[in-house]
Each structure stands twice: as structure tokens, then as C-alpha cells.
Structure 1
Amino acid sequence: MSILSLIFLFMIFLSLQWKTSTSQTWIKAGYWYAGSENPMPNINSALFTHLICAFAYIDPSTHELVLKASDEPYISSFSSSVRKGNPSVKPLLSIWTQNGKFGNVGNSSNFLVMTQTPTYRKTFIESSIKMARAYGFEGLDLYVATLLNTKGNMTSLGNLFNEWRVAADQEKLILTVGVRYSPDLDSMSYPVDSVSKNFDWVHIRSYDYHTPMTDNFTGAHSALYDPSSHMNTDYGVNEWIKSGLPASKLVLGLAYHGYAWTLVDPKDNSIGGAPAKGPAITPDGSISYDYIRNHMRSYKINSLYNSTYVINYCTIYSFWIGFDDVEAIKNKVVYAKKMGLRGYSVWQLPNDHNWELSKAAAQEDNYRGHHKRIFVIALCTTAFFILLIGCIISNMRKRIISKVKQVMVMMMTLMNSGKSSYHNQQVISFADIREATNSFSEENKLGEGGYGPVYKVLSSSVYKY
């Protein structure tokens, strides 16, 4: 095998390895809620692969998608705005499925009714694709994280997902879905097989496990682990995988908000379980990461990090606040990599005005991805040089064997000539031949004939008369 052939094979091998290591895009997604206090933030889109605009709503009477009048100007310009900072970013439009046109908190009974009628499903699908195309979105996201809280018939969901996938493929649109942290709740379950088959990936809502509106005690609302409860991200991820959804389709939710409780005992600063008497600071206790950091700086206090739950918390007077800081975000990205997940998605972007958390997540991803690529290249290069050295040694060995054979042929020819009937021919020893040719020196080589190389004789001692 020639050196050029080896180089060609090496390039093919390296390209295959590179393709394998980068065949699936690591998702770095972020939700932007059009109804947020900052309606059009200057999104640092270079930190993301996909940006999701929320929300479009389903009209309960027509089953078509509609937009809130105040949101429409921002949603209509969302795609062009985020592409200015990153032309390769893919904008998606998220669809709210709870009752009400404008995202009212409630159940999803109207959505389930829509899924049971073929004509309603068709109307919904056609209007969703029409809206996506009209506003320059490259995909659609269905937010059904609260669907399992609804009592209703979910058997038609699979039909909707199947029909939507066919229509989306024709338009070359991405389809994603936002779900609860685990696939089951009481007797209700997501149709996991249909979810796995029809969606490009699944956003897990891995936060809001405990809130001041639902619990009279403090709790880690976005705990990665919780030794005392199943309400944690690791449990939910493993339940989704056990139910049949590949880890490579799961995208981990990251929370850019926290919750504040009013403590019964202001001195109780434990990570969870401290008696509380409702929310603090805001009506429902929810606080953006930016507000938490500014509040902590104002009071000159630092947060505590708990490695068991993977969460930060602090106490300000009688308020207990739980949230994710840079360290928690990095550890959750590491967890997603370790579990073989598809990536992460953020709720929501305006809560990280200085992009402190987003940079932490993206840098962790770049660091690990960079080292993975270096490892693949180093492995391929080492394999190539081992193969190259092996071929060189093999070629040298063949040449040496060939020369030895040529010498042996010459010796046998000379020895056989001693047996000739011509009386004036004689047998010449190998030692005499070696002496006469100066150990078969290249300088004494005259050329090559049919029986091998021909040498000039230096000594007359080989001639014996």
C-alpha cells in the first residue's frame, strides 16, 4: 500500500469520526415570553442554537392559532431580530395549550376536545403552519407541561401528533414539545411512543417542584436530586427514559427564576422544609435571577450552594429564596452531558439580563465539546501513524527479503556451475565471492541480469588455475 493511499484512507477515517462526533446538534435553547416585563430584550443569540418565542394561543371556538394583540408586533419581528446576532440560530414559535386565548392559568380541556375531532385537528395544524411561515419561524413548539393536570381523554393525542408530523415534514419544520418533568401523574400519562416518534426533541419542565403558592414550607423548586422525594429532575429524566423515550431526545429545562417564601422563623435557613407562611416580595413569590442578584448585592449577602439538591439559596430578613446560580447551572449542564441528553432549554431569557447564566451554560458546553473533538482527532491521528509505521516496516522487510533472495540465487547459480562438464570451470566458495565483491558493495555493482545483480571482481584470488 502506497503512502498516498494511506493518507487518503486516513482522511476518510477522520471525516467519519468527525461526522460521528458532531452528527447530532447539542441544543442550547431559550424561551422568550412576549408578555414579560421587558417585551423585546436584546437577546444574545450567539449563545443559543434555538430561540423559542412564547406564546401563540388556540382559539377555543375556531381551534385556530391566534396572537394577543399586544404581542403581535414583537412576535412578528422576533425571527429577524434574533438572527441579527446569530444568522444560524433557529427561531421556533411555542403554542400554549391551557384554556383561554391569552395564557390564563387553567387546565387543557379545550385542547383535548380539539384533538378528538379530525376536522378540528386539521384546522389547528394548518393554522399553526401558516402562522409559522408568516412570521419566519423554522419550527413549532407545543407546550403541554400541565396537560397531565387535566382530566380528559388523551387517546387522540397520538393522532394529532402523527398528523402534525406529516404536515411539518412537508414544510420542513422542526417540531418540539414542552412536557412535565416526568411522564406520569396519578392515572394520567403522556403517549410516550407517539411523542418519541413525532417530535424532534422534548423540553422537560424540570423546575417549579415547590412554590410558595402550593407549599407551606421552603423547598428546592429546581432540585436536580432530592433524597427525600421523587420531585426532582434526576428522577423525572430516568422515568422518561424507562418509559421508552431515548435520552438523545430529552432537553433539560433550566430555570432563570427562583421563589421567595416568608419564613415562620427568620433564623431557619435550612435548604428545605422550613415552615413558611406564603410568598414573599411578589404576589406568587416568583423572582427573576437578575432581581435576586440585585437584591443580594443591595443587602451585601452571598448565597449558599447545596450540592445535594444542586441549588443556591439565601435568607434576607425573614425571606428564604431558592434559585440557580452559575455553579448550579454548570453542574446541570454537566449532568445533561453525562446522561446523554440532547441539550438544555432556558425559561426564560429576560430573567438573565446580563447573560451571566447563559454564558456559564454555553462555556461549559464549549469546553466539553472542544475536548471531545480534540480527543477524537488525537485518537484518529495516533491510529494513522501506527498504521503508517506498520506499512513502512512491512515494505522494508519485503525489500530486505527480496535482496537476500537475489544473493541466494546468485550463489546457487555459481555453485551449480561447478558441476558443469567443462573441466576448466571450478567451484568458488561464498567467502571468496564476498571478498572479491567487497561484501557485495554497491560501488562494485555493474548492473542486474536475469539471474540477479552482477559485481566487478576486485581480487584475483578467486581464479585458481
Structure 2
Amino acid sequence: MASHKLVHLLPIIVLITIPTGYVMASPPAIKAAYWPSWIETFPPSAIDTTLFTHIFYAFLLPSNVTFKFEVSDSTASQLKNFTGTLHQKNPPVKTLVSFGGGGSDPKLFARMVSNKGSRNIFIDSAIELARTYGFDGLDLDWEFPKNPEEMASLGQLFKEWRVAIKKEAKSTHRAPLLLTAAVYFSVDFQWNGIYRKYPVESIAESLDWVNAMCFDYRGSWDTSATGAHAALYDPNSNISTSYGLRSWVRAGVPRNMVVMGLPLYGRTWQLKDPKVNGIGAPATGVGPGDDGVLIFSEVEKFNKENGATVVYDAKTVSTYSYTGTSWIGYDDSQSTTVKLKFAQALGLRGYFFWALSYDSDWEISKQASRAWVIG
């Protein structure tokens, strides 16, 4: 997962018509979260599996030379502990291993997908890794393909990956591995003057679902004004969760293949004038936290210790707090619940969090699990 720079999105004009009387079967809801493998103080044994259906191991990378996965002894031990612990929990959850992440080099995946030979090496190694360490599925978090050519190659990867998964499952008489991808909040976008769009046809045919990263719309890359970094609505632009999720549906990805991303952290700014403290208020720099980021448990602690004023903003469906010149934009239980109701009304598959261990005593995770009503 990574910071999403301010972008201007082009309008999407593809419309999907569903025949009258057509009823789609409802697959099981997704209640997922990514587990940051580098946080040693939050082992898999600490995860409350009553709140989730799927947990993603974040992250692994293939060799940038061979495109195979070379797992060290310590990582192998961690992988086995991750799947073993979560499969033995009551209730057990499905486990997926995620490749990439916001901190990885996007050029690695660009090189890998550029020809069939390297794609096959990567695919075979990924499947072998998942089976060796007991994972139920595979997830690709490439942030982000930079042009139409890379998007087309990504589409080829997904198609070939699905074929390989089916073949492996048939030959081993095992359930097919799940295949998912973490994607930009919108199906198409323009960065640095280059328009690109995800390979919708390949995604619809090849993946089980996509995790739309509906956060980081605002952040430390723009310190001129405060912002709701995961706004459901934005009255001034199409950089919003509602726009992004609808764009995936309008482009042709089935609603039951779209999963909404939710942040368990906030972004912070320093106000120019403490008396001007709403969303969009003038700012002079980042606020408390590491590069202007506080995880949710830290937000709650900061608010309590500093007597901060907490405001729910219905216009954007977000929450913010301020005290003195410090300003934090984030999601709490209230804004999360409204977002989930929106996602359910849109007919989406479920939600995921970035990231496990950022919550405060499972506060938001519990509320989300209750709010996503089945049936």
C-alpha cells in the first residue's frame, strides 16, 4: 500500500446493462485485512479471527534477476507460522500471500510482465511458494503500472496465472488457489500526463476479486491544506471512494468482484491558523506522526491526551480532530459504518483494512464486522 498522489481522473463512459430479471448468485462476503509482517509486536496469534474471513501476508518480492521467490530460513519460519496459526484458529481464516507493496520497486514487476518467459517463471514460483507454505491464495500489489503497455502486460499475466492455477489444482486434486490484486481506487487514472486503465476484461475473467485501495487521496506530498485522505465523497473533485468504486463497476468488473479498502490510520497537518480548522483549511506542513501519519490507536491516544476536538464530516464521510495547530484526518467507527453501507448498497463483495495491528483494541474492526450485514 502506498501514498496516492493527487491526480485528475478522466470520466469513464463505459456503461453496463444487466438484463431485467437476471439474478446473480451472492458469493460469501469478504472481510479482510493485510498483516504487516515486519511488526514483530503483533504476531498472527494476536489476530481476532472472528472479525475476518481472509488475511493477507504483506509482503514478499521475487528476485529482481530470476523472478523466482528465494525464501530465507527466517522468512520460511514466519510463513509457516502465519498460515499454521491462522488455519488452526477458531474460526480459521483463509490466508493469502501478497507480492509487492507500496515500498517495492514497480520496475521489477514491469520487467517481469514484459515477456511470457519471465511471467511463467514468476507464476510457477508463486504457486509453488503458496503450496509449500500452506497459503489459500495469491495477491499482487503492484503500485502501479505506468502506461497502457504495462497494463496490457498485467492483463496477460492475470490470464496466464489463472490458467496455471487451474492446471495445478487439476493435477494435484486440490482446491484452486485464490487469485486477487490490490489496485488503485479508480479503474483508470492519469499521472505525469500518461493515461492508463486496468485490464478489465482480464480481471473479470481471471481474478477472484480486486482490493481497491480507497485511501491516501491527500497527504504529506501536499502540505498546503488539510484533507480527508479517504473521503467517500468529494464535492470538489472525483478523487473520492464513491467515484473510484463506481468507476470499477461502470467499466465492467462485476460488483461481487470489487472489495473496498479502508484505512486504519490518519494523515496529519499543521494548521496555518488554529481558528481555521475544517477540511481544506490552510496548512503549513505535516502534523504529528511519522511523515504526517498516525495509526488509529495513536490517533485515539493523541486525541485523549491533548483534549482534541473531534468532528464527523457528513459531506465527505470522514472524521477529523484538531488541537492547537495539529490536525488529523481519519476514519472512525462512524465514518467506517457509513462507507460500508454505501458499499453494500452498491452491491460490492466486502471490505479490507490496511492494516492489521493499526486498530485500537479492534474497535473499528468489530464495528465493521457488525455493520456488514449478510443477507
Asked if TM exceeds 0.5, the reply is yes
Alignment of 1:384-399 (within 5 A): none
Paired-residue identity, %? 36
In the TM superposition, residue 215 of structure 1 has moved relative to its aligned partner by 4.1
Q: SS in structure 1 opposite 2:228?
A: coil
Structure with the bigger RCO (C-alpha within 8 Å, sep 6+) is: 2
List gaps (5 residues or longer) in structure 2.
1-22, 170-175
In the TM superposition, residue 323 of structure 1 has moved relative to its aligned partner by 0.5
Aligned equivalent of 1:163 = 160
Alignment of 1:208-227 (within 5 A): 208-227=216-235
- 2:84, 2:159 → 1: CA distance? 30
Distance 1:317 1:289, change over 3 A: same
Task: Provide, for residues 239-266 of structure 1, a one-character-per-residue CA deviation record: whole Å limited to 9, x for no partner.
Answer: 1111111111100001101011111212
Residue 60 (str. 1) matches residue 49 (str. 2):
no
Larger radius of gyration: 1
Matched AA of 1:31:
Y
In the TM superposition, residue 121 of structure 1 has moved relative to its aligned partner by 0.8
**Residue from 288, 295, 319 that aligns with 2:302:** 295
Distance 1:291 1:68, change over 3 A: farther
Task: Provide, for residues 286-311 of structure 1, a one-character-per-residue CA deviation record: whole Å limited to 9, x for no partner.
Answer: 11000000111112334110111111
Distance 1:64 1:182, change over 3 A: same
- 1:331, 1:166 → 2: CA distance? 38
Aligned equivalent of 1:358 = 365
- 1:329, 1:137 → 2: CA distance? 29
Aligned equivalent of 2:337 = 330
Aligned equivalent of 1:33 = 36
Contact 2:185/2:213 (<8 A) preserved: yes
Q: SS in structure 1 opposite 2:129?
A: helix
Q: SS in structure 2 opposite 1:329?
A: helix
- 1:22, 1:349 → 2: CA distance? 30
- 2:76, 2:203 → 1: CA distance? 29
- 2:74, 2:92 → 1: CA distance? 28
Residue 154 (str. 1) matches residue 151 (str. 2):
yes
Distance 1:69 1:165, change over 3 A: same
Task: Provide, for residues 309-337 of structure 1, a one-character-per-residue CA deviation record: whole Å limited to 9, x for no partner.
Answer: 11110002211100000101111111111
Q: SS in structure 1 opposite 2:41?
A: coil
Q: SS in structure 2 opposite 1:63?
A: coil
**Residue from 249, 265, 268 that aligns with 2:257:** 249
In the TM superposition, residue 72 of structure 1 has moved relative to its aligned partner by 4.6
Distance 1:301 1:23, change over 3 A: same
- 1:363, 1:22 → 2: CA distance? 22
Matched AA of 2:30:
I
- 2:358, 2:70 → 1: CA distance? 26
In the TM superposition, residue 110 of structure 1 has moved relative to its aligned partner by 2.4
Q: SS in structure 2 opposite 1:221?
A: coil
Distance 1:112 1:294, change over 3 A: same
Matched AA of 1:315:
Y
- 2:186, 2:275 → 1: CA distance? 34
Aligned equivalent of 2:141 = 143
Distance 1:156 1:150, change over 3 A: closer
- 2:319, 2:88 → 1: CA distance? 34
List gaps (5 residues or longer) in structure 1.
1-19, 373-465
Residue 111 (str. 1) matches residue 114 (str. 2):
no
Task: Considering fraction of residues, name the structure with more helix.
Answer: 1
Residue 92 (str. 1) matches residue 96 (str. 2):
yes
- 1:128, 1:345 → 2: CA distance? 22
In the TM superposition, residue 149 of structure 1 has moved relative to its aligned partner by 4.4
Contact 1:259/1:287 (<8 A) preserved: yes
- 1:310, 1:239 → 2: CA distance? 19
- 1:164, 1:197 → 2: CA distance? 11
Contact 2:309/2:322 (<8 A) preserved: no
Tell me the C-alpha RMSD between the 2 structures.
2.1
In the TM superposition, residue 158 of structure 1 has moved relative to its aligned partner by 2.0
In the TM superposition, residue 70 of structure 1 has moved relative to its aligned partner by 6.1
In the TM superposition, residue 151 of structure 1 has moved relative to its aligned partner by 8.2
Distance 1:63 1:309, change over 3 A: same
Residue 122 (str. 1) matches residue 120 (str. 2):
yes
- 1:76, 1:281 → 2: CA distance? 37
TM-score (norm 1): 0.69
Contact 1:148/1:189 (<8 A) preserved: no
Task: Provide, for residues 165-220 of structure 1, a one-character-per-residue CA deviation record: whole Å limited to 9, x for no partner.
Answer: 01222331000111000011221111111111110001000000000233421110
Distance 1:50 1:268, change over 3 A: same
- 1:70, 1:332 → 2: CA distance? 39
Q: SS in structure 2 opposite 1:245?
A: coil
Aligned equivalent of 1:235 = 243
- 2:277, 2:40 → 1: CA distance? 31
Aligned equivalent of 1:285 = 292
Q: SS in structure 2 opposite 1:303?
A: strand
Distance 1:323 1:184, change over 3 A: same
Task: Provide, for residues 4-38 of structure 1, a one-character-per-residue CA deviation record: whole Å limited to 9, x for no partner.
Answer: xxxxxxxxxxxxxxxx9984101101111112363
